[in-house]
Structure 1
Amino acid sequence: MTPALPRWADLVLIPGLNLALAFLVAGLVVVFIGEDPIRAVRILIQGSLGSSYGIGFTLFYATTFVFTGLAVAIAFHASLFNIGGEGQAALGGVGATLVCLAVPWPHWALALPFAILGAGLLGGAWAFIPGYLQAKRGSHIVITTIMFNFIASALVVYLLNNVLKAPGMSLETRKFGEGTYLPFMHEMLGAIGIEMSRTPMNLTSILALAAAFLTWLLIWRTRLGYEIRAFGHSEPAAVYAGIDPVRITILVMVMSGAMAGLMALNVVMGYQHRLVLDFVGGAGFVGIAVALMGRSHPVGVILASILFGILYQGGAELAFEMPAITRDMIVVIQALVILFTGALENLVRLPVERVFARRARG
């Protein structure tokens, strides 16, 4: 039997090697189309981290991915593969929108707690149904969450067409009242004398860090978190210890869906100030890669989210500066990162385990 890897190797070394392989293959693709990969990397980094403007956009994208990554990570700890974050986030956006449009809020500080509640409730409710079907009917969570993504998409289209649509051609709601606008980060920093370029980054970035901390507390410092991890490691052993699998499955899915729903605060309430069609933009699926790469740990999720924020923002700058590298090429690079950190993880893990096994025997 192969001895367990040191924690640092599992959390840092293997993801780092996977990431290096992904960028190596991406560099070969750039060479194949006749461009300089060194220059491409320089533009990517400069565009995402080389200015307060780039950093603001990078962290804005990363904030969204923190929520969807934590959503997937919470489910992972119970060995549940929630890939319905896209639909749960979409319903979370509906929840936040209903709160923002319901009352002429005088200040964002009053609106925010209710928006958090609305987004979390609808996101959690959308995940409750697959969780219930898994726990009570044995329906596979992967299949049901995939299906619910499409149902959520159709439901949001219906609502924007028939219930919430603002006058005009666009599928969007009317703009929220100014009392619901979350403060932008450049405004918050400017109030204490720190200059920052105007970007969509807003107060939700701080909420994302709080969500990561609370997730850590839940999973590693509470009785419920212990039950979740025990259930994830071995369902028969958990049942033998008196843990109710139905309760854990449904609770975990509701918490996972609620976390995914909270990503809507960043886009809907913090930036667009309205609900628009397809505001999630694939963030629910990126959250799967973020959770895999971050080893379902909140710190890892934050770091992986920043990486994908760099790819999103730096990729946009790269497509502008090097037209031969299209937006589709950036998607290919992102896909390579997902491929090597997910499906091909054992390509690195197995050789690393053999190296550590030889060192242990020697």
Structure 2
Amino acid sequence: MSQTVTPPAQTPPAEEPSRWHRALQEITTGNAIISVLAVVMALVVGAVMIAFTDEGVQQAAGYFFARPGDTLVAVWEAVAGAYSAFFQGAVYNFRRPEFAAGIRPLTETLTFATPLIAAGLGVALAFRVGMFNIGGRGQMLMAAAAAGYVGFAFELPFGIHMLVALLAGVAAGALWAGIAGLLKARTGAHEVIVTIMLNYVALYLITWMLRTPGLLQAPGTNNPTTPAMRETAVFPELLGPQYNLHLGFLFAIASVVLVWWILDRSALGFRFRAVGENPSAARVAGINVKAMYVYAMLISGALVGLAGTSQVLGTVTTGFSSGIDAGIGFDAITVALLGRSSPWGVLAAGILFGAFKAGGFSMQAAEGVPIDIVLVVQSLIVLFIAAPPLVRAVFRLPAPGSAPRRQRPIVSKKGVAR
């Protein structure tokens, strides 16, 4: 007697995720959302610090259990007042009756962002090649010295003088960074150690030149400052004398496009990315890895040199001292990290940090918020970006490459069912 065997039911094919579901999955697992959420978390922590340091909040907290509403109102007024002052100092000032005067804070933000964008691009490009250019300060100082010397010591026609000073500054930054690239290529010296040492060499060299008559020191004074730049060498203003925004901002934007083209559209950029991913595999593929190290540091130093030149010819045209770098060389590392070493990401991060600089002074002047809180917020952004699992855990984001969970099949005696 034969027994009929019923074949198990076939498992129906899994449904393909919709286009919107795939787009949402890419957004929540990408790196861009981590940068945005890192900024949000840092602003939240900054709000907590503003509340704790506000005198009104501290007074209301003394009788919190009697009237808790007063404390909450004081916290809201402190945080809202601080961030409102930040917005009015970095984007638009609603207290000004005219649009031309109200938009001035945005131009200040772009002015502060100009050297940050240029220097951040230099650090980001080095990152893409697997190198860590921490010598921004030294490269900016050398670029400022070269551009400044051409700016006050030579008499050239308008336009030509500015271009010569610009090229001198960019070349000085490139050559100073190229030392680290050459030493890494020839001797294997680590670029972090070399660039740190070159920072000190540049600082003391420029300090000596600023105190030596006939070099960078202004004649007739003992102060370590340079003479004022000649008008023919200064970057022209973009929007008129009432604003500080100058031509250097357009140079920074052009640098963003140039670096994007180099990294994503040129054969040199392909070699850069190959070396950054795996130097051994790139060497096997026939790429001259040592030459890529030198080229990368030369271009990186040129971009940082553009930042130093913008400081001299665009912002400080009355002469400069050894503090001309203003910490931008180290802030550029933060900008490159926040921008995920992408040219367009660096542009956005540079503008954001320019807003921090412009808005931070407004917060301090209008609301009495310590400027150190702004520095803490910037540091927290770096901390959160360096710890993506922490950000994903706080906001319950899926891990990169994770797929949506599928229901397990139900196995019964009659077959397999969903």
Query: What TM-score do the two structures reach when normalised by structure 1?
Result: 0.90
Listed one character per residue, the Cα deviations across residues 106-148 of structure 1 (whole Å, up to 9, x for unaligned) are 21x2123212221111101111111122222222111211221
How big is the shift at 1:360? 6.6
Shift of 1:183: 1.1
Counterpart code for 1:88: Q
- The change in CA–CA distance for 1:217 and 1:354 in structure 2 (over 3 A counts) is closer
Partner of 2:253: 209
Counterpart residue identity of residue 26, structure 1? G
* Match of residue 194 from structure 1: none
Q: Is the 1:26–1:336 Cα contact (8 Å) retained in structure 2?
A: no
1:296 counterpart (330, 341, 349)? 341
The C-alpha deviation readout for 1:163-201, integer Å capped at 9, x for no partner, is: 2101324321111222112211222xxxxxxxxx72321
Does 1:176 find its partner at 2:220? no
Residue matched to 1:248: 292
1:95 Cα deviation (Å)?
A: 1.5
**Which 4+ runs in 1 deviate beyond 4 A?**
none
- CA RMSD in angstroms, aligned pairs only: 1.9
Q: Could you tell me how far apart the structure 2 residues matched to 1:7 and 1:242 are? A: 36
CA positional deviation for 1:10? 2.5
Structure 2 CA distance for aligned equivalents of residues 149 and 59 of structure 1: 27
CA shift in 2, pair 1:83/1:17, >3 Å: same
SS in 2 for 1:106: coil
Q: Residue 243 of structure 1 aligns to a residue in which SS?
A: coil
Q: Secondary structure of the residue that 1:280 maps to in structure 2? A: coil
AA matched with 2:390: L
Change (3 A) 1:361 1:17: farther
- 1:68-100 per-position Cα deviation (integer Å, ceiling 9, x unaligned): 100001101101011111111111111211222
Higher helix share: 1
Q: How does 1:116-131 map to 2 (within 5 A)?
A: 116-131=166-181
Give the aligned partner of residue 94 of structure 1. Answer: 145
Tell me the alpha carbon deviations over residues 3-40 of structure 1, each in whole angstroms, 9 at most, x when there is no partner: xx837842421111111111111111112213622221
TM score, norm. by length of structure 2: 0.79
Deviations 1:45-76 (A, max 9, x none): 11110132211211001111001100001101
Q: Structure 1: which amino acid aligns with 2:259?
A: T
Residue 31 of structure 1: aligned partner: 51
Distance 1:248 1:133, change over 3 A: same
Q: Give the structure 2 partner of residue 41 of structure 1.
A: 83
| Amino acid in structure 2 at the alignment position of 1:256 | S
Partner of 1:218: 262
Q: 8 Å contact 1:92–1:118 — kept in the other structure?
A: yes
Secondary structure of residue in 1 paired with 2:133: coil
Does the 8 A contact of 2:125 with 2:341 survive in 1? yes
* Partners of 1:11 and 1:294 within 8 A in 2: no
C-alpha distance in 1 between matches for 2:283 and 2:404: 38
Equivalents in 2 of 1:92, 1:33: separation in Å? 40
- Percent identity reads 32
Aligned to 1:165: 217
- Give the Å deviation of 1:327: 2.1
Distance in 2 (CA, whole Å) between partners of 1:98 and 1:339 is: 39
Structure 2: runs of 5+ lacking an equivalent = 1-24, 58-77, 93-101, 408-418
Higher CA-based Rg: 2
In the TM superposition, 1:48-127 aligns within 5 A as 48-50=90-92, 51-107=102-158, 109-127=159-177
Structure 1 spans left out of the alignment, 5+ residues: 188-196
CA distance in 2, matches of 1:360, 1:233: 31
Q: Which structure would you say has the larger RCO, counting Cα contacts within 8 Å and 6 or more residues apart?
A: 1
Residue in 2 that maps onto 1:153: 203
Kindly provide the CA deviation profile for residues 257-314 of structure 1, in whole angstroms up to 9, marking residues without a partner as x.
1110111232201122233221110111111111111111111111101100110000
2:138 paired with 1:138: no
2: distance between equivalents of 1:174 and 1:102?
9
Residues in 2 aligned to 1:140 and 1:360: alpha-carbon distance in whole angstroms: 45
Letter in 1 for 2:321: V
Q: Which residue of 2 aligns with 1:285?
A: 330
Return closer, same or farther for 1:85/1:346 CA change in 2, 3 Å cut-off: farther
Aligned length: 346
SS for the counterpart of 1:81 is coil
235-244 vs 165-174, greater mean Cα deviation: 165-174
C-alpha contact (below 8 Å) 2:117/2:252 kept by paired residues: yes
The one-letter code matched in structure 1 to 2:33 is L
Structure 2 vs 1, CA of residues 138 and 182 (structure 1 numbering), >3 Å: closer, same or farther? same
Q: Distance in 1 between matches of 2:322 and 2:276?
A: 36
After alignment, is 123-132 or 268-277 more displaced?
268-277
Q: Give the letter aligned to residue 198 of structure 1.
A: Q
1:258-277 equivalences in 2 (<5 Å): 258-273=302-317, 274-277=319-322
Query: Which residue of 2 is the match for residue 193 of structure 1?
Result: none
Aligned equivalents of 2:206 and 2:358: distance in 1? Answer: 27
CA distance in 1, matches of 2:27, 2:296: 25
Whole-Å separation in 2 of the counterparts to 1:111 and 1:239: 43
* Structure 1 counterpart of 2:26: 6
